[in-house]
Amino acid sequence: MKTARRIAALPPYLFAEIDRKVSERKAAGVDVISFGVGDPDLPTPGHIVEELARAAYDASTHQYPSYFGLPGFRQAIADFYARRFGVTLDPGTQVLPLIGSKEGIAHLPWAFVDPGDPVLVTEPGYPVYEVGTILAGGEPVHIPLRAEDGWFPRLETVDGAVADRAKILWLGYPANPTAAVASLEQLEQAVRFAADHEVLLAHDNAYSEITYDGFVAPSVLQVPGAVDTAVEFGSLSKIYNMTGWRIGWVVGNPEAIEALGRVKTNIDSGIFNAIQRAGMAALNGGMDHLPALLATYQRRRDRIMEVFWDAGWKVDAPKGALYVWLPTPAGESSVDFTARLLDDAGVVVAPGSGYGPSGEGYIRLSLTISDDRLEEGCERVRKALVGG
């Protein structure tokens, strides 16, 4: 058997060593507490589940869905953009439902990237920006993000000739893993850069509603003219605790949407109609659950920050997404600090280097852990860092 070269080209799975150690610790009887994955622990709001049940009993949902999604779901996404961002979208040409935003992020390069084409990948970032590029035969060109820039790229430092050849610029705020947020002015810079270099700006807004301390995340499509050069990914996963349902969308530039749609019609057959009907119930039903959800995450964030602040860390609490992103102690690599927290506290965190080379020297803790496990984990980390 001979696997493809593109598989060998995928970045190494940096969590493999951590996974091995976790299994080892568990086998040794350690009660391991995981701050590793960003997967909401709280349930999907009841009215959405009820709509799924109702729709699943309606046999008309049992056949292949339309490739382009239910008109009602596309309209619900457009209505959400109008209400939330003041952005008008044509549900016929500027909205495409996805089987989770990850699916569209992974497939977009198939519509834009020919073998060898550069793709500008901001890192540390969601790993699928890079992996999708590699699977399509493209060449990821890293744009390093730095703490001193608020984890926003210095686009003026990107080689102009490379940018001119590049097909896509990947950007995502509120960000995984850095938990950074971006202002509309910053997104405007990215739109200008994309227009100047004729690159598709792919903005990942999967955490659009998950923000703290009063920060309200913008959409890239609020930038005047952005629709000429940008698409934006969104998702019900984090907003409505629906990661397992696999439902999201891409909106924006109609040519890009059409091109991605063409790829998808050849690969998948859309989203189960009952899930789309539940998605309509979610978006049309508003976001009454959100204040309590955000209060829970903010409380958890503050508890984690308290532990690290008390241990001497001098960093601000993050303003968005489901993570706390922290530097490792001086001289300790991401993987070493991760291993130390596992050995000394029985706590799993994600090493920053798993999200790109510029994530070296950082760890990521997820806020999607139940309050009692979080408390126990925080207490153990506190003891490991300051003793007592």
Residues in touch with ligand PLP (CB under 6 A): 38, 100-102, 126, 172, 176, 204, 206, 235, 237, 243, 248
Q: Which is nearer to ligand PLP, 237 or 334 (CB)?
A: 237
Cβ proximity to ligand PLP, 111 vs 202, nearer residue: 202
Rounded least distance, CB 1 to ligand PLP, Å = 30
CB nearer to ligand PLP: give 246 or 277: 246
Q: Among 115, 112, 254, which residue's Cα sits nearest to residue 170?
A: 112
Residue among 197 and 203 whose Cβ is closer to ligand PLP: 203
Least CB distance to ligand PLP at residue 319 (A) = 15
- Nearest approach in angstroms of CB 330 to ligand PLP is 28
Write down the least CB distance from residue 248 to ligand PLP, Å.
4
CB of 375 to ligand PLP, least distance (A): 24
User: Closest CB to ligand PLP among 61 and 122?
Assistant: 122
Scanning the structure block, which residue is given the tokens 């019900």?
A: 236
Nearer to ligand PLP, 197 or 355 (CB): 355
